[in-house]
Amino acid sequence: MSVRLRLTLSYAGFLMLAGRMLVPLARLTKATREAAGGSLSHRIQLEGRKDEFRALADDFDAMLERIETHDAEQRRFAANA
pLDDT digits (tens, 9 = 90+) for 2-42: 888 888 888 888 888 887 778 888 888 888 899 888 888 88
Contact between 42 and 31 (Cβ < 8 Å): yes
Q: pLDDT tens digits, residue range 31-69?
A: 889 988 888 888 888 888 888 888 989 999 999 999 999
Phi-psi region of 39 (alpha: psi -120 to 50; beta: other; left: phi over 0): beta
Question: What's the rounded Cα separation, in Å, for the pair 28 and 6?
Answer: 34
Residue 70 pLDDT greater than 90, yes or no: yes
Q: Assess contact for 38 and 71: CB atoms under 8 A.
A: no
pLDDT at 67: 92
Give the pTM.
Answer: 0.69
Average pLDDT, the chain: 88
